[in-house]
């Protein structure tokens, strides 16, 4: 179970690049917020990424996967596969974890916050991205790698959409809409990718019938990109397939301020993994410059996921307190360099802990 003798158990994987800076920052913020609610935390660090190559010869050792199976709650840093020896780059550790633990759902909220200039100050959306199918080759379980080259000059990619996987992500989206503003937009490209994204759209609309209290509409992905810029306030929850969700969530993150703020939660039916949207940022790693907000806010999503499933109000209060403290510190003008400020990772984190 998640908590034994009142202690919450979290598996922590620091990862590469700025991971060892932003992940411990998020752990210390989560510990403080939970402590305020009388909840103790037991953190178990597991080898992952370049550090695991040094100690175990691979970026995601079997021992780490076995240990992860014992935890419901994971907080994970970025991995920088490009920096690994060529023979260890594929499959990427993230893909192995998603596959082995069926982390099919990827929730990516994007909301402008006061204190940080945004291209679209009124954006407040939740992108619900299907995370196990679509065109993403190394995530595609049913058809092997999903990509192949029949000749050196011809490359093919297979896109997979199934009713089962679409139904479960649609349920995530409609449930999330009930907790938000009660509106789901189904994003597809069924005028061209008629069978695959057409099935995605149709199954989502069938699931919508079970949620008469939630307003539903549909958009083509290209129109959605334009509308997110033109009138973001018209959107609440956006549900879409893997590739479209990846692209739209980077767009939404930048519209709301910065990639450094973009949180994300991956989950299966019984586990959740908090991991920022951004990558390892090797260009700024090791210099105390990294913005820890994305990882801290991902940790808050992790606690909210846990609190909702276990109807645990104290954990939900801790999650709200983290979001509140981060907003307060940003509004106060404590900003890291990516947001135009001069606070270090440690200074920003200290300010959040003080605000808590």
Closer Cβ to ligand ATP, 48 or 174, answer by number: 48
- Is 222 among the catalytic positions? yes
125 binds, options Mg ion, ligand ATP, none, Cβ within 5 to 8 A by partner type: none
Chosen residue from 78, 91, 159, 245 binding ligand ATP by CB under 6 A: 78
Interacting span for ligand ATP (CB under 6 A) from 157-165, 171-179, 204-212, 278-286: 278-286
Shortest CB 190 distance to Mg ion, Å: 27
Catalytic residue, candidates 246, 312, 323, 338: 246
Q: Which of 157, 162, 249, 152 is nearest to 203 (CA)?
A: 162
Per CB under 6 A, does 24 bind ligand ATP? no
β-pairing, 7-13 with 3-4?
antiparallel
Note whether 302 and 272 are within 8 A (CB).
yes
Chosen residue from 68, 255, 294, 326 binding ligand ATP by CB under 6 A: 294
Interacting span for ligand ATP (CB under 6 A) from 177-185, 202-210, 287-295, 318-326: 287-295
Per CB under 6 A, does 259 bind ligand ATP? yes
Residue 111's φ and ψ, nearest 5 degrees, are: -145, 135
Shortest CB 225 distance to Mg ion, Å: 17
Per CB under 6 A, does 19 bind ligand ATP? no
Q: Report the interface residues with Mg ion, using CB under 5 A.
A: 279
Cα 338 from Cα 212, distance rounded (Å): 42
Chosen residue from 280, 318, 343, 351 binding ligand ATP by CB under 6 A: 280
Per CB under 6 A, does 94 bind ligand ATP? no
Per CB under 6 A, does 75 bind ligand ATP? no
Which DSSP string corresponds to 53-82?
HHHHSSSS-HHHHHHHTT-SEEEE----GG
Per CB under 6 A, does 49 bind ligand ATP? no
- Is 234 among the catalytic positions? no
Q: Which of 184, 168, 180 is nearest to 238 (CA)?
A: 184
Give the three-class secondary structure for 196: helix
- Is 136 among the catalytic positions? yes
Long-range pairs for 307-314: beta carbons < 8 A, 24 or more residues apart: 310/2, 314/37, 314/38, 314/39
Interacting span for ligand ATP (CB under 6 A) from 28-36, 211-219, 279-287, 315-323: 279-287
Q: Which of residues 314-353 bind ligand ATP (CB under 6 A)?
A: 338
Per CB under 6 A, does 130 bind ligand ATP? no
Q: How far is CA 99 from CA 53, 135, 315, in A?
A: 20, 15, 28
Cα 317 from Cα 340, distance rounded (Å): 31
Closer Cβ to ligand ATP, 109 or 307, answer by number: 109
Cα 72 from Cα 307, distance rounded (Å): 12
Element (H, E) at 51: helix 50-56
DSSP H helical segments within 209-241, as ranges? 221-230
Residues labelled as active-site residues: 136, 189, 222, 246, 250
Residues that bind ligand ATP (CB under 6 A): 18, 22, 78, 259-260, 278-281, 283-284, 290-291, 294, 338
């Amino acid at each position: 179970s998640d908590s034994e003798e009142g202690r919450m158990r979290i598996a922590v994987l620091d990862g590469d690049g700025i991971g060892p800076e932003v992940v411990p920052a998020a752990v210390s913020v989560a510990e403080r917020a939970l402590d305020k609610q009388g909840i103790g935390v037991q953190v178990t660090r597991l080898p992952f990424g370049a550090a695991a190559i040094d100690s175990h010869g691979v970026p995601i050792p079997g021992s780490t996967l076995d240990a992860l199976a014992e935890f419901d709650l994971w907080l994970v840093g970025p991995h920088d596969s490009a920096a690994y020896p060529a023979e260890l780059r594929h499959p990427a550790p993230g893909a192995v974890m998603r596959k082995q633990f069926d982390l099919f759902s990827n929730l990516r909220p994007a909301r402008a916050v006061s204190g940080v200039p945004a291209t679209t100050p009124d954006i407040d959306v939740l992108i619900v991205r299907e995370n196990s199918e679509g065109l993403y080759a190394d995530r595609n379980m049913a058809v092997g790698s999903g990509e192949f080259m029949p000749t050196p000059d011809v490359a093919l990619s297979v896109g997979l959409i199934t009713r089962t996987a679409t139904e479960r992500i649609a349920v995530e989206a409609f449930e999330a809409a009930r907790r938000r503003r009660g509106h789901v937009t189904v994003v597809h490209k069924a005028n061209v990718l008629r069978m695959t994204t057409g099935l995605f759209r149709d199954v989502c609309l069938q699931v919508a019938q079970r949620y008469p209290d939630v307003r539903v509409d549909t958009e083509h992905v290209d129109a959605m990109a334009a509308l997110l810029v033109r009138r973001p306030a018209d959107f609440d929850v956006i549900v879409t397939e893997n590739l479209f969700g990846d692209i739209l969530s980077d767009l939404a993150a930048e519209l709301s301020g910065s990639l450094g703020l973009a949180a994300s939660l991956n989950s299966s039916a019984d586990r959740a993994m908090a991991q920022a949207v951004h990558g390892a940022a090797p260009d700024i790693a090791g210099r105390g410059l990294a913005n820890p907000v994305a990882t801290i806010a991902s940790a808050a999503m992790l606690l909210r996921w846990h609190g909702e499933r276990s109807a645990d109000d104290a954990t939900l209060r801790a999650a709200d307190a983290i979001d509140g403290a981060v907003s307060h510190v940003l509004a106060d003008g404590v900003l890291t360099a990516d947001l135009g400020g001069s606070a270090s990772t440690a200074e920003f984190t200290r300010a959040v802990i003080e605000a808590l």
